[in-house]
Amino acid sequence: MQPDVSRIIAQIVILFLAIGLHEYAHCKFADLAGDPTPRFYGRVTLNLTKHFEPMGTLMMVLSSVAGFGIGWGRAAPADPRKMRNPRWDFFISVAAGPIANLVQAAIYGLLFRIALQSGVFQQLPDNLSGQFFRSLLPLGVFINLRIFLFNLIPFGPLDGHWLVGLLLPERQRIQWFRLNNQIGMPGLMIAVIALQYAHIPLLIGTTDYIFKLMTGMSIYDI
């Protein structure tokens, strides 16, 4: 079967914006909280190329060609000790990344509904550019929702483990972060592999529910 070039290009564009703006949001809110670290590293910028690293970028392209889109950006440099309110400013900085993806999903969803109601999709030519724009909006919702929800999983190094830890009392917080430093990444990998082996889609039900709220249709229809 020939690869769907328009879909691949759409996935790469969406992932570039989704991951780049996710990392930018982390850095921007850390900067607003008084932490000079992200600005020192040149990360408080909408030049999204600054928020990527080679392996994550390569994976973004290769996985899109393979039919699914994953990738990662360069970790946002932040030092909560330099923020005005270390605990809660850092919480906001961490939360800003996933929220940036939720906002992007909502924007894609709104544009998708407008396009459907106005008949724009029917007016697009049946060529590569037309197929690209037909894929872009629903995939934009889907991919950003997946990134939003995946990052809320409370395993290190995902944002969710920071968010959970920062809500805990100090003693439990220290223990939580120590536990995640030890088993967070292996635990996440084992969980993902186990779910794949058991043919249990990760977060698909929640993704589909929010996708329907935003677009009026199921992810299985895209």
pLDDT in tens, 32-59: 999 999 999 999 999 999 998 877 777 7
For residue 5, the tally of other CB atoms under 10 A from its CB is: 12
- Assess contact for 73 and 56: CB atoms under 8 A: yes
Distances (CA, A) of 6 to 118, 126, 161: 22, 11, 36
- Within 8 A by CB and 6+ apart from 36, the residues are 82
How high is the mean pLDDT of the chain?
A: 88
- Within 8 A by CB and 6+ apart from 101, the residues are 18, 21, 22, 144, 145, 147, 148, 151
Question: Where exactly are the structural domains of the chain?
Answer: 5-153+203-221
70 or 105, higher pLDDT: 105
Rounded to an integer, what distance in angstroms lies between the CA atom of residue 9 and that of residue 196?
26
What's the first-to-final CA gap in the chain, in angstroms?
18
User: Could you tell me the two tokens for 208?
Assistant: 């589909």
8: confidence class by pLDDT, cuts 50, 70, 90: confident
